[in-house]
Amino acid sequence: MSVTVRVPAKVNVQLAVGGARPDGFHDLANVFLAVGLYDEVTVTPADSLRVTCEGPDASQVPLDRTNLAARAVEKLAARYGRRADVHIHIAKDIPVAGGMAGGSADGAGALLACDALWGTGASRDELLDICAELGSDVPFGLVGGAALGTGRGEKLRVLEVGGTFHWVFAVADGGLSTPAVYGEFDRLHAGVDVPEPVASGVLLGALAAGDSAGLAGALSNDLQAAALSLRPSLASTLAAGGSAGALGALVSGSGPTTAFLVPDEAVAGEVADALVASGTCRAARVAVGPVPGAVVV
């Protein structure tokens, strides 16, 4: 018997970053939107824990115990006093190391899948606690939709969204390391008193109203300068999508994926074509959000 869970990628429509905390993390006001690019995580009983992965970027996915899916299964097994003997198979469609929380999605997906496989009866809050231990972006993979993340991003408040937003994502060549981008943020802000991160009222209002133009005007990512500093070529990608008709553009999370908010599906296709033609990205993907979080399929 196997269980498969489908789990979405995210884009941060606002990522407000505070100064470095004593524990090295940063307080955030992180507005997550789940978008319809998905990984599928399948768990099957096996003799021992192992991870396999398929998809165009599968070779970049770690298959050892550092994979968040493996860590999620080990944590759930330890909590319920069982052996983590499952084969985890990841069908990967979310860009790897791209700032779209693909690894976190796999952690949330594997956790939900094993919970169903083993019938642990864990409460939603227990699962969310395990997710928060795994990483700052993992709880959102379970919750989906739209949410405001505070603390290091793991404390979630679900947000109402009044419509569907259309996006194009430009997938860059190679990934960016999240700790490296936060490190560059610290370097760029050395000696600066970084203000407390706060969610934008205008942005939350635009989300609630389903107002694409309003949301486009309020998009912001405090990690964008750091990502651009480490990967200056992203500026040409942002410019290419902007001149092709996007309402707004930003780096997704710690990058290097760039996200373009567009008015509708037709413009999404045009912007995607223009991005590919510009030669400033490896691929362009079209998706809508919000979409639900991890679900057993």
Active-site residues, by number, are 10, 137
179 touches ligand C5P by CB under 6 A: yes
- Based on its alpha-carbon atoms, the radius of gyration of the chain, rounded to whole angstroms, reads 18
Smallest gap from Cβ 203 to ligand C5P, in A, equals: 19
Distance CA 280, CA 242 (A): 13
Smallest gap from Cβ 8 to ligand C5P, in A, equals: 17
Stretch that binds ligand C5P, among 21-29, 52-60, 105-113, 264-272 (CB under 6 A): 21-29
Residues 6+ apart with CB under 8 A from 153: 28, 30, 136, 137, 140
Q: Are 127 and 75 in contact (CB under 8 A)?
A: no
Stretch that binds ligand C5P, among 69-77, 175-183, 265-273, 278-286 (CB under 6 A): 175-183
Rule CB under 6 A: choose which of 109, 135, 145, 248 binds ligand C5P: 135
Residue nearer to ligand C5P on the CB measure, 99 or 290: 99
Stretch that binds ligand C5P, among 176-184, 210-218, 231-239, 275-283 (CB under 6 A): 176-184
Q: How many residues bind ligand C5P (CB under 6 A)?
A: 12
Rule CB under 6 A: choose which of 71, 75, 152, 285 binds ligand C5P: 152
3-state SS, residue 287 = strand
Smallest gap from Cβ 177 to ligand C5P, in A, equals: 8
Q: Are 95 and 102 in contact (CB under 8 A)?
A: yes
182 touches ligand C5P by CB under 6 A: yes
Distance CA 190, CA 203 (A): 28
* Burial (0-12, 13-18, 19+ Cβ within 10 Å), 297: exposed
> Residue 272 corresponds to which tokens in the numbers above?
């995607």
116 Cα distance to chain centroid: 23
Residue nearer to ligand C5P on the CB measure, 103 or 248: 103
Rule CB under 6 A: choose which of 3, 28, 128, 281 binds ligand C5P: 28
Residue 129's H or E segment, with its range, is: helix 124-134
Residues in touch with ligand C5P (CB under 6 A): 24-26, 28, 135-137, 152-153, 178-179, 182
